[in-house]
Each structure stands twice: as structure tokens, then as C-alpha cells.
Amino acid sequence: MSESNIDVNALGEKIVRVLKTIFDPEIPVDIYELGLIYDVFVNEAYEVKILMTLTTPNCPVAETLPLEVEEKVKSLDEVKDAEVEITFDPPWSQDLMSDEAKLELGML
């Protein structure tokens, strides 16, 4: 398959699958289901930008989690580069969690 035929939506789904392998160390739920990923952008050059937050600004993994996300996304063959931008606007809240995550944590 030539590079120009890569389906950006399919790549987005692959990226989400990778994100679902990354867990918040304090909560036994992956960062995607926790609602920490606000947006994933893929441009035509297959450079990925991920807008994410942390459960709190002084989260113990504030330094390492974004790096882990970048490295795991960059490990996908189709991805040329990946950048993580951390934002606290809007601040994370439990409302952002998926029903699956809430169920896992006994909140439903």
C-alpha cells in the first residue's frame, strides 16, 4: 500500500487502540476511557497531535505520561511524528469518563 492510500480514519482507530493500552497508574482504567484524551489530530503528513489532560495538574505522572503517549503513538509504522499537548481547559472531571470506566470503578 502506498503511503498516500493510508486511511486517516483507520489510523485514528489504531491510535485509539494504542491509547487504550496506556493506564493512569492511580486508576485501573486506560487514559482513553478515563476521558484524558480530548482530541487526536492527524494531518496529511501523518503527523499526530494529541490534546490531552491529566486528572490533576500535579498528577504524579505529569512528566512521564505524555512521553509514554508520544512514544507509543510514534511506534505505529504509519505515524511520522507525534506530539502531545497537555491542557487543563476544560479541567478533567469524572463526567468525562466513559460508562465503561465508571462501571469498572463501581460508579454506575
CATH of the domain at 40: 3.30.300.130
pLDDT for position 49: 97
Q: Residue 80's domain spans which residues?
A: 3-92
Under 8 Å CB-to-CB from 5, ≥6 apart: which residues? Answer: none
Average of per-residue pLDDT across 22-37: 92
In a domain, 34, yes or no: yes
In the predicted model, what is the mean pLDDT of residues 9-34?
Answer: 93
User: Could you tell me the three cell numbers for 64?
Assistant: 512521564
User: 80 pLDDT exceeds 60?
Assistant: yes
Burial grade of 70 (CB within 10 A; 0-12, 13-18, 19 or more): middle
pTM of the prediction? 0.89
For residue 45, how far is the Cα from the chain centroid?
A: 19
- Binned at pLDDT 50, 70 and 90, residue 51 comes out as very high
Q: Are 17 and 82 in contact (CB under 8 A)?
A: no
Res 3: pLDDT: 47
Assess if residue 102 is contained within a domain.
Answer: no
User: Mean pLDDT of all residues in the chain?
Assistant: 91
Residue 106 lies in a domain: no
- Residue 103 is assigned to a structural domain of this protein: no
State mean pLDDT over 90-106. Answer: 94
